[in-house]
Amino acid sequence: MLEFKDLKDKVKGVVVVMITPFKEDYELDEEGLRKLTRFLIDSGIREGKGVLVPAGSTGECPMLTDEERRRIFKIVKEEAGNTVPVIGGCNHTDTRTVIKLVHYAEEAGLDGVMISPPYYWKPSEKILLNHYKAIAKETKLGIMVYNNWFASQLDIPIETMVKLVDEVPNIVALKDNSPYISKLAKMIEVLGDRISIVNGAGEPHEPYASLMGARGFVTGEACLIPKTCLSIYEAEEKGDYHSAKKILKQAEPLLNYILEAGDHLADYIVKIKAGLNIVGLPGGIPRLPLSPADETIKSKMKKLLDEYPLPELWKRS
């Protein structure tokens, strides 16, 4: 477990928001979660190159019980050890519940926590400050703020983020999901020397976010194609943006299909899980109210994975 002052430099690279595999009866697939964690580490997601984030949005956190999150934190940390930083998703609209989840993260030995603004009612600046200050008083873990505008109805303003960093020392990182890359650039310009800022919008904003100073990018797709995502980051790290763009172009058919707008913002989770099942990894099914992939999605994902041109551990020689 890292104290908050130690976490900032470790939040970099491919920040993998892990899916949560469920069995056909919707129960947590604990062995599947262990297998997925090992797969990501074996694919190169390690300290200095990446971070694991269990129980985030891609992990269907709104559908998890508090006790399930506790178990998920424990399992992922047991498998990861000190090989890669593990930052637990502690998103909830009730501050007291977030504090409980943060204590579960401490108990499991996690390296930090990712916390969104409270949602349901669009939060004001005062509510944001109340939320993060109350949580910070209860932990020595570093906090990665999760600017998840789609849930909180708020794209955290730069001036508000500055206040949070000024007044809450535990805040050492920002997962910035702002849909506006120009705002991300300004956020990095203002705060990039004080906290680690990663591109929360993922592959669609790469390699441009890296060029602007983002220290990595957040991705659910890396559950399925971690080596690809790692090769993009490694090219960016060397300043070889031409190679990064070339890799992204090769991965584009699969990425575009996973990320394309569907009936629901969470459709990408359904596709990632279907893809994992196809290649023999533990995806399982999503929890209600989401529906498992239908035959059209499965067929399209199988075709894209059969034709996938880049190296991954699941690829057949």
Output the pLDDT for position 275: 98
| CA distances to 16, 27, 89, 231, 268 from 58, in Å | 9, 17, 10, 22, 8
pLDDT single digits (tens) 194-223: 999 999 999 999 999 999 999 999 999 999
Q: Say how far residue 171 (Cα) sits from the centre of its chain.
A: 17
| CA distances to 6, 116, 122, 211, 308 from 93, in Å | 27, 8, 11, 34, 40
Rounded to two decimals, the pTM is: 0.96
pLDDT exceeds 90 at position 262: no
pLDDT single digits (tens) 157-190: 999 999 999 999 999 999 999 999 999 999 999 9
pLDDT single digits (tens) 43-94: 999 999 999 999 999 999 999 999 999 999 999 999 999 999 999 999 999 9
For the record, the structure tokens of 24 come out as 């056909």
Cβ atoms of residues 145 and 132 within 8 Å = yes
For the record, the structure tokens of 93 come out as 């609209």
How large a percentage of the chain has pLDDT more than 90?
93
Identify any residues that bridge with 145 across adjacent strands, giving them in sequence order.
Answer: 115, 174
pLDDT exceeds 70 at position 3: no
Q: What is the DSSP string of 214-236?
A: --EEEESGGGT-HHHHHHHHHHH
pLDDT single digits (tens) 109-148: 999 999 999 999 999 999 999 999 999 999 999 999 999 9
**Pairwise CA distance, residues 12 & 45, whole Å:** 11
Q: Give SS3 for 27.
A: coil
Q: What ranges in the chain are assigned the alpha helix state H?
A: 4-7, 30-42, 66-80, 95-108, 125-136, 149-152, 158-167, 181-191, 208-211, 226-237, 241-259, 267-278, 295-306
**Pairwise CA distance, residues 316 & 128, whole Å:** 48
Which residues fall within 8 angstroms of residue 316, CB to CB, at 6 or more apart? none
Mean pLDDT of the region 257-270: 90
pLDDT exceeds 70 at position 4: no
Identify the band that residue 251 occupies on the pLDDT scale cut at 50, 70 and 90.
very high
Domains and CATH numbers, the chain: 4-244 (3.20.20.70)
Secondary-structure breakdown of the chain: helix, strand, coil percentages, each rounded to the nearest 5: 50, 15, 40
**Pairwise CA distance, residues 60 & 89, whole Å:** 10
Half-sphere exposure of 205 (CA within 13 A, CB side): 26
Identify the band that residue 2 occupies on the pLDDT scale cut at 50, 70 and 90.
low
pLDDT exceeds 90 at position 316: no
